[in-house]
Each structure stands twice: as structure tokens, then as C-alpha cells.
A and B are shown apart, each in its own frame.
Chain A
Amino acid sequence: MIEYDYKKPESLEEVFGLLKEYGPRAALIAGGTDVMVNIRNTKKAPEVLISLRGLKDLRYIKKNNGYHIGALTTHRMLELSELVKTELSALYDGASCIGSVQVRNVATIGGNICNAAPSADTAGPLLVLDARVVLEGPEGRRSVPIYEFFTGTYKTVRKQDEVLVEFQIPAEMEHFGSAYWKYSRRKAMNLPILGVSVSLKLDNETISDARIGLTVAAPTPVRAYKAEEFLKERQLTDDVLKEAGKIAASPDCCSPRDSLRGEAWYRREIIEVYVARMARIAAENIKNR
């Protein structure tokens, strides 16, 4: 019989020690909203749960030469942060639409990204905000751009002995406006059928730089690079945005599947329409600052 146990370390060093001691028999748990549901659905628990909630100093949202968000920051903290709402609007849009208030009060941004569901609502926003993922292991820290972090559905580059500690968003993003749209059947308590994030920078009415992130449009959240390239140095007009939407929805940028929630052709149509809409909102968000 398995002797289940849990540990609640108070420092990263302790976490590394425990991960080494228990190896694959242990799993990390932050807010637990994915882990607990998995345990219940599969009726299989890891032998040892290592809680990260004792790492109290990994809960923060700071602006200091760029933006820094601790991995244990809850979606509710992001939702209630004025800084996130005004300067990282896409992340506000993403975090505030996750589950319910009860879920957001405990679920963390680090857990959302490490779980690496294709539908993770903070993934698209972090993609268009050029976030870097900071991982720490016994050998030290490394940082990975978020577009390299996901390697497949529920798969990431995180090594077994590493903890995600922080997201870094470059200072340059201060000049971008951003927005995220979760397309789903109901307004709350639903995973996206599709997610579209856009960030852009304007020079008068010329788009000087842009990022487009698509969620549930490929096995991992992806950037629509070709559509971004198209937008650069073009005017912010309906025709330009419409064309960018078309490119983003094409096989050059994404590979949506037919699934229970929606068919591929339908997802492509949403991308086409929502890239343009999100770009408009992103532009508004710069002006409203």
C-alpha cells in the first residue's frame, strides 16, 4: 500500500532537496486546482505532494525595470491589480476570466503555465507580452522565452527538479497596448473554444510593432508571426486588420482541430474576426492609459 504524504517546504532549497529525495514519486502543488481535479478524475494521487504555498515571497506583481510576477501569484491578485489592468491589459483579461472567484482565489499563474493545457487562459496574454519564464533548480536559474516553454499539450521544457519562480515582462511592453478574448459558450466557468491575444505599439496611426497569440489553435499556444510581420509599419485601418486576421487564421499560423467544443473551420473564422477586434481594443488600451 502506498503511504501518501505531503510536505510544505518554506524555501526553494528545501523544495529542491525534496524533489531529489522523492524523484518521480513526488509532484508539486500550488493552488491545486489542476492537481486536485486530476487526482479525483484519475483516482491516482502522487505519493508525495510538495506544496509550494509555503513560498510566500513568490507572490508579487512588481514594476521595476520591466514587470515581474511571482509564480505563486493568484489570478485574483492579477485581476485586482490596477497595474496589470492598465499596463498589461491582456493579462488582466486572461486572469479575470479563469473559472470562478473561488478558483481565482487559489489558482496561480505559475500553475496555469506549468500545467500547459492548450486552453490555458494566461498563456496567450503572456505570449503577446513577450514574457520570459524564470526556472530555478539546484544548479541555479535560467530563463526561457514563453514561446519556447511549451513543447506539446501538457508538456513544457521544465525539468523535473526545477520550479517556475517568476515571469518577466520587458520594460518595452510599457509602450504596447494589449487585449485578450476568450471565446466560449458561456461567460463564466468555461474553457475557451479559442483565445486571441494581440499587443501592439502605435506611432500615430501606424502600427510600429505587434504580437498575436492564439490559444486552442494548435497543440500549444502559438504566436502568429506572419500576421505580426504583415501589421508592422502599416496603418491601423479596418482593411489592414482584416487582412492580418486572414493571415493569422491560415495554415501558415495555426492548425486548429475539430473537437467537441468547436470545429476547425469555425475556429479559423473566429481567429479572422477576433484578431481585428482585439487589435482595436489593444489600440484603445494605449490611449486610455
Chain B
Amino acid sequence: MKKVSVSFTLNGYPVTAEVPVTWSLLKTLREDFELTGAKEGCGVGECGACTVIVDGDAVNSCLYPVFEAEGKSVMTIEGIAGEDGTLHPIQTAFLENNGVQCGYCTSGMIMSAKALLDQNPDPAENDIRTNIAGNFCRCTGYVQIVEAIEMAARKME
């Protein structure tokens, strides 16, 4: 199949992917870059497990044609900890607050939380719930996740 060459910034580094034109950004991240933090749950925009941040906004990478990433800045869960492995405050808040059970939704959940906190450092509970409404979690019941994001917001002040 015809391949495209797409250049973009991935977790701060300039990269180029040579992948089939029909691939999604998710497939490219997982199969070409071997970044498997973003998950495929549904593949059709319903579950949010594939959430990454493109130019500051949370998007479903399963619905994002890879060719649209040209020139963009893409951030995945692999890019949010420090270079030395120090966890991001949202990650530690999820750990400390039991916001993680099986973990399948976690990377998407954290990316949605990060996009929110970058845009609105002091969100109300309702803003948090709105911003994670597209991230399904079948384990936690959401309460610990919302509290973890609130905790992260306080830590990041």
C-alpha cells in the first residue's frame, strides 16, 4: 500500500513516520514508534483509551488520520514523566489516590487530565467530569479519578 511520510514532534522530539496512508495516529504510535501507552479499546471514538494530546488538545488518536499529524506536536503518556523518570504530578496523584485499578483506561485518562490542567489549572469538579466524560473506566467508578485530578491540580499550583 502507498506509504506517506509524516513529520511531527513526538514527545518533544522531531520524528518522521513512513506508514500506509490509511493508518490512524494510534496505529502509527503503537506499531511504528512502539509506544504502547495509548490503547485501542473501541477504535471508534467511544472509550478514550487512545487519548493523546495534539497541539495542546486531547484527541482520540484512533480517529485521527496519521496524515493530519504533519507539522503538529503530539504528546503521549510516555512523554509526560521527566527525562530521569520522575513521574508527572498527575501520575503520582493517580497512584496515591487509587485512581488506577486494571490500568487500561489510565493513560488516556491522564492525557485528558493533562490537557485540562494545562488549559485550566484550577478546574471545578464539573469541569473535570466534563473533560473525562469521553474516557471510560470500567473499574474505579470514577470517584478516585476525579479526586486524583483535583489532588494533581493542587500539587501543580
CB-defined contacts of B58 to chain A, threshold 8 Å: 101-102, 105
Measured CB to CB, the closest approach of chain A to B26, in angstroms, equals: 11
B121 interface contact, C-beta 8 A: no
CB pair B133–A100 under 8 Å, yes or no, is yes
Complex alpha-carbon distance, A49 and B1, angstroms: 15
B22 interface contact, C-beta 8 A: yes
CB pair B4–A102 under 8 Å, yes or no, is no
Assuming the contacts A6-B67, A101-B112, A106-B63, asked whether A76 and B22 have C-beta atoms less than 8 A apart, the reply is no
Q: How many residues of A contact B (CB 8 A)?
A: 28
Q: How many residues of B contact A (CB 8 A)?
A: 32
Q: Is the interface of A mostly helix, strand, loop or mixed?
A: mixed
CB-defined contacts of A39 to chain B, threshold 8 Å: 22
Measured CB to CB, the closest approach of chain A to B28, in angstroms, equals: 14
- Of the listed stretches A30-38, A152-160, A216-224, chain B binds A30-38
CB pair A36–B63 under 8 Å, yes or no, is yes
CB-defined contacts of A3 to chain B, threshold 8 Å: 1-2
CB-defined contacts of B65 to chain A, threshold 8 Å: 6, 29, 32, 36, 49, 51
Point out the residue from A6, A33, A76 that lies within 8 Å of B4, measured CB to CB: A6
* Closest chain A residue, CB of each to CB of B24: A36
A53 interface contact, C-beta 8 A: yes
Measured CB to CB, the closest approach of chain B to A56, in angstroms, equals: 12
Chain A residues close to B by CB (< 8 Å): 3-6, 8, 29, 32-33, 36-37, 39-41, 45, 49, 51, 53, 76, 99-103, 105-106, 187-189
Question: Nearest 9 pairs between A and B by C-beta?
Answer: A100-B134, A188-B133, A105-B57, A36-B63, A102-B60, A102-B134, A37-B44, A102-B58, A6-B67
